[in-house]
């Protein structure tokens, strides 16, 4: 069995290789360690191996781990799960990034509830890129209006787009999904220069990070390849 430190090394090398092959600047793709369902000790091992950014899907689980790891300084916490509006305050208080904002109501609450003592909250808009009924995320059509409204919110910093394309679609279609997210961001950057830095594409996971990097990912969100297979089912919020 390989250790978490070994896995960080091999995923980092995969990212470096894919970045180079895509002709992109070294260091332009960051690794988000998706640590949902993992115990705090696993995050500690990853941090000690040099991993800074951790992505969590379930608020209470994340808060418990923050508590358990409170003596470690320098972890960057990212929220990547579906957001209920009664959870926004704790998210706004505890995280540096939220990748899964998909409606204005949530963005407004996060901005209102972001403590003034903290820098603006970095957010990505989650797009339901394959228009799956089962998936969260806004539609492509909603983005223009969302950007205009979010531009008015003082305590958010809109960084870009996030998607979780259906991993079971054929490879060529998966590639097109990544490409579509990237071209959408390019277009938004042109149409909404006031909206924020729009420098972020959060896409690609354990099995498809190379393809996502080739298509422009700046965050790849990797769980299984770092921590091993997750228990089959998990329901918590
Ligand atoms: C679980 C999860 C991942 C990581 O998936 P792996 O296939 O384990 O790498 C990435 N993004 C989101 C939003 C997730 O929920």
Whether residue 235 is predicted with pLDDT greater than 60 in this model: the reply is no
Ligand 1 center–CA 112 separation, angstroms: 28
**pLDDT tens-digit readout, 198-224:** 999 999 999 999 999 999 999 999 999
Atom of ligand 1 nearest to the CA of 227: 8
Q: Which of the residue ranges 115-119, 146-150, 156-160, 191-195 would you say has the lowest mean pLDDT?
A: 191-195
Instruction: Say if ligand 1 is within 6 A of residue 222 CB.
Output: yes
Ligand 1 centroid to Cα of residue 222, in Å, is 6
Nearest to 162 by CA among 37, 71, 237, 57: 57
> What pLDDT was estimated at residue 230?
87
Domains of the chain: 4-227 (3.20.20.10)
At residue 195 the predicted structure's pLDDT band, cuts being 50, 70 and 90, is confident
Residue 9 has pLDDT above 60, yes or no: yes
Give me the pLDDT at residue 133, please: 76
Whether 205 is in the pocket of ligand 1, judged by its Cβ within 6 Å, is yes
Q: Which two tokens stand for residue 24?
A: 């992109």
Predicted structure pTM score: 0.96
Residue 135 banded pLDDT, cuts 50, 70, 90: confident
Residue 161 has which token pair?
């787009």
C-alpha triplet 81, 87, 93: angle, nearest 5°: 95
How far is it, in rounded angstroms, from Cα 175 to Cα 50? 30
* Mean local confidence (pLDDT), 81-105: 98
Q: What is the pLDDT of residue 104?
A: 98
Look at residue 234 in the predicted model and tell me its pLDDT: 53
Is residue 35 lining ligand 1, measured as CB closer than 6 Å? no
Is residue 221 in contact with ligand 1, taking CB distance under 6 Å?
yes
Protein residue with its CA nearest to atom 13 in ligand 1 = 80
Please report the pLDDT score of residue 237 as a whole number. 46
User: What proportion of the chain, given as a percentage, has pLDDT over 70?
Assistant: 97
């Amino acid at each position: 069995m390989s250790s978490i430190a070994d896995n960080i090394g091999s995923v980092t090398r995969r990212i470096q290789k894919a970045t180079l092959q895509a002709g992109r600047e070294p260091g332009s793709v960051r690794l988000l360690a998706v640590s949902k369902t993992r115990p705090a000790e696993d995050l500690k091992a990853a941090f000690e191996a040099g991993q800074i950014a951790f992505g969590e899907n379930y608020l209470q689980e994340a808060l418990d781990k923050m508590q358990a790891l409170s003596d470690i300084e320098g972890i960057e916490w990212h929220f990547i799960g579906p957001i209920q509006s009664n959870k926004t305050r704790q998210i706004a208080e505890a995280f540096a990034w939220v990748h899964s904002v998909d409606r204005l109501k949530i963005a407004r609450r996060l901005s209102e509830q972001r403590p003034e003592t903290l820098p603006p909250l970095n957010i990505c808009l989650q797009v339901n890129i394959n228009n799956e009924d089962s998936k969260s995320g806004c539609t492509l059509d909603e983005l223009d209006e969302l950007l205009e409204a979010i531009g008015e919110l003082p305590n958010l910093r809109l960084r870009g787009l996030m998607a979780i394309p259906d991993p079971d679609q054929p490879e060529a279609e998966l590639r097109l999904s990544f490409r579509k997210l990237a071209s959408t961001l390019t277009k938004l950057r042109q149409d909404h220069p006031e909206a924020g830095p729009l420098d972020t594409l959060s896409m690609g996971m354990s099995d498809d990070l190379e393809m996502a990097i080739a298509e422009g990912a700046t965050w790849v969100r990797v769980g299984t390849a770092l921590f091993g297979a997750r228990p089959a089912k998990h329901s918590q919020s």
